[in-house]
Amino acid sequence: MVNHVMSRRSLLKGGGAALAGLSTVHVAGPAYAFPGDRDEVLVPWVDRQLFTPPPFTQLDWEQLDDWVTANDDFFVVFHYDIPKLDASWRLGITGLVARAQSLSLADLAARQRREQTVTLECSGDHGFPDFTGAVSNARWAGTPLAPLLHAAGLDRKATEVVFYGADSGPVMIRDNPGVVRPPSRPPDTGTPDPANPGRFFLTINEQFSRSMSVEEALDPDNLLAFEMNGAPLPPAHGSPLRLIAPGWYGVANVKWLTRIDVVDQRHAGRFMARDYVTIREPKAGAQTVWTFSNVSHMRLKSAPAKVTRRRDRYTIMGAAWGAPVSRVEVKIDEGPWIEADLDRQGDRRHGRETFAWSFWTLPWRRPASGKRSITSRAFDYEGNIQPPPEDPYLSSRVTYWENNGQITRSVLIP
Ligand SMILES: Nc1nc2c(c(=O)[nH]1)N[C@H]1C(S)=C(S)[C@@H](COP(=O)(O)O)O[C@H]1N2
Ligand SMILES: [Mo]
């Protein structure tokens, strides 16, 4: 789908750049709030962010004021379409369970309610040119997944839980003889592959699906969410029900959820086995062994959001996420790393665990004029540091996904 986004990107969001100058900074809670400060002006990035046309949206970093992203500003990614689900919608829990379930929204709303602020990021964020705003933060409300699975009664043989969305679309499968072409289909089914005479592409209508191990699915943080920032889930974000899997990349947070299927085999649907697969070519040693892994947990990351100015006093502001963030440092041009003020917010259900981004700010006194670059890096509590783009593990990737490299942006100081 991100390919789809790329090909359809042609518009700048409302020519917003020109209007951005009067942004009021209301960064992260009272400590940094300057409500209605008309002296606060935006110093626009020189490297412009491009925006996808509706219905796809990205976060507009230069407009980032609120720790919780409003529903209309929250980035939108989908791969097939936005299904319209009516009152007949139900959630099925099927497969290796003692008591298969068919639940209405009222059934789910009558169960234990939980709210949690969780940041979602598409694993393609900063992986594709101009796809740099696929991260947002919202307060989700719903019912925990684990008690529902326990109520259904997981079979001893169950190993995997598959989450199906209501959305589907044509997916072309290459004809690997004996793999794709089933005995039930005539041998010339599908579209001939011009490059390989005698072989065919088979087009199927695949439903969006993602899976987790039973153990991962039973994580007490997983939420079946029907509300986003106090409103019913908007259609673009999965109405009436989506999975919120805190700490997982966006793709795992299945929208328009219709069925949870408990199985005893690894699920190899498009978004587990073909798409959202990170392929690496490790460079170490004489022999190259390619590695394949499906996109799963978020990675430690930060990004400069914007630079503002009040008279001659500049402030750099940004966000950090992907793990509980202990510290953020900022580098100007090739200067030393300077520690930023970190505003840790979010639910702390397990000690330091928080699944929401943290905002950070750095005062920037009397910057020299000219084009200046700003780079940030995040630290977590386990000693990890957001890597530079040239980090061997990052640069060994041959696919777009999971780019958590340090981000550098530039402003022009008059
Ligand atoms: N059913 C369904 N769920 C989905 C998707 C999809 O295409 N269909 N896209 C996934 C991806 S790749 C991302 S990044 C997130 C985006 O969630 P959002 O649009 O609410 O920001 O939804 C995920 N859930
Ligand atoms: Mo995504």
Q: What string of DSSP letters covers 181-217? A: S-TTS-TT-SEE-TTSTT-EEEEEEEEEEEEEEHHHH
pLDDT cut 70: percent of the chain above it:
85
Q: What is the pLDDT of residue 164?
A: 98
Residue 237 C-alpha to ligand 1 middle, in angstroms? 7
Q: What is the pLDDT of residue 129?
A: 80
Q: What is the pLDDT of residue 188?
A: 60
pLDDT digits (tens, 9 = 90+) for 174-206: 655 544 555 566 666 667 777 777 677 778 899
User: Which protein residue's CA is at the shortest distance from atom 24 of ligand 1?
Assistant: 254
Q: What is the mean pLDDT of residues 129-139?
A: 93
Residue 380 C-alpha to ligand 2 middle, in angstroms? 23
pLDDT digits (tens, 9 = 90+) for 215-227: 999 999 999 999 9
Q: Per CATH, the architecture of 301-413 is what?
A: Sandwich (2.60)
Q: What is the pLDDT of residue 136?
A: 98
Instruction: Considering every ligand atom shown, identify the ligand nearest to the alpha carbon of residue 75 and give its number.
Output: 1
Looking at ligand 1, which atom is closest to the CA of residue 256? 1
pLDDT band per the 50, 70, 90 thresholds, residue 9: very low
Rounded to an integer, what distance in angstroms lies between the CA atom of residue 157 and that of residue 152?
A: 14
Model confidence at 244: pLDDT above 60: yes
Least confident of 193-197, 301-305, 316-320: 193-197
Residue 328 C-alpha to ligand 2 middle, in angstroms? 25
Q: Enumerate residues 6+ apart whose C-beta is below 8 A from 73.
A: 57, 59, 60, 63, 136
Sheet holding 91-95, edge to edge: 101-103, 91-95, 257-263, 160-174, 200-213, 191-192
Mean pLDDT, the chain, whole residue set = 87
* Candidate from 2, 59, 78 with most ligand 1 atoms within 8 A of CB, to mutate: 78
Q: What is the pTM of this model?
A: 0.88
Give the torsion sign (CA, 391, 393, 396, 397): negative
Looking at ligand 1, which atom is closest to the CA of residue 124? 14
Looking at ligand 1, which atom is closest to the CA of residue 271? 12
Rounded to an integer, what distance in angstroms lies between the CA atom of residue 248 and that of residue 162?
A: 15
Model confidence at 65: pLDDT above 60: yes
Q: Which residues have C-beta atoms less than 6 Å from ligand 1?
A: 74-79, 120, 122, 165, 167, 208, 237, 250-251, 253-256
What Cα–Cα distance (Å) separates residue 316 from each residue in 130, 132, 309, 313, 329? Answer: 21, 18, 9, 10, 11
Looking at ligand 1, which atom is closest to the CA of residue 120? 21
Considering 152-166, 169-183, 192-206, 335-349, the range whose residues carry the highest mean pLDDT is 152-166
User: Which protein residue's CA is at the shortest distance from atom 5 of ligand 1?
Assistant: 78
* Candidate from 3, 56, 77, 84 with most ligand 1 atoms within 8 A of CB, to mutate: 77
Model confidence at 13: pLDDT above 50: no
Answer with the residue of higher pLDDT: 343 or 112. 112
pLDDT band per the 50, 70, 90 thresholds, residue 2: very low
Model confidence at 327: pLDDT above 90: yes
Q: What is the pLDDT of residue 201?
A: 75
